Amino acid sequence: MFELTAENYYSLEANRHYMSCSQYQDFLECEAWAMAKLQGRWTDEDSKAFLVGKYFHTYFEGPEAHDAFCRANFEKIFKTRETKTGIVVNGKYADFENADKMIAVAMNDPTIKRFVDMPGLNEHILTGEIFGVPWRIRLDKYAPEKRLIIDYKTCANIQETKYNPATGQRETFVETY
């Protein structure tokens, strides 16, 4: 069986061995598109929202994971300019500055901080089978002693509503997710 790791979790090979929530949603949206992705004929570039979400998540995973993510995505996170002495960092792009604000709010909120500091496993991968199909999930935080799963969510505007075709209603981020 394919060994699922943090390094290959989002890979094409992992997608071919395990179903995920994202893949399931792809199939609901368009089966041909989902199959093209599985066959390697279509690749999506990581969206800004995905990158900001990963930035936020890796912060809570730990300094090593966050530093590695920032190094791997340096050009997308940091504003730079070239000088005679080399490249100078001029801060972060607005989306990542906002992510830093979200992190600060979370870390300064006593209720959220209690969950963040709770003993448990960050970015914990689990696999299982549903109706004979192997599935995978990556839990933002898993606290088995408390029988608790924490799922961090970020959004641009928590009060903005969007149309949900399944319900035929406009819904907020909270109602949708």
Mean pLDDT of the chain: 91
What is the reported pTM? 0.81
User: How far apart, in Å, are the Cα atoms of 49 and each of 16, 46, 95, 143, 153?
Assistant: 24, 8, 9, 27, 11
Q: What is the pLDDT of residues 8-51, one digit of tens each?
A: 999 999 999 999 999 999 999 899 999 999 999 998 888 888 89
What are the two backbone dihedrals, phi and then psi, of residue 68, each rounded to the nearest 5 degrees?
Answer: -65, -40
The amino acid at 81: R
More confident residue, 89 or 1: 89
Q: What is the pLDDT of residues 92-147, one digit of tens each?
A: 999 999 999 999 999 999 999 999 999 999 999 999 999 999 999 999 999 999 99
pLDDT at position 1 over 80: no
Instruction: Determine the average pLDDT of the residues in 60-76.
Output: 94
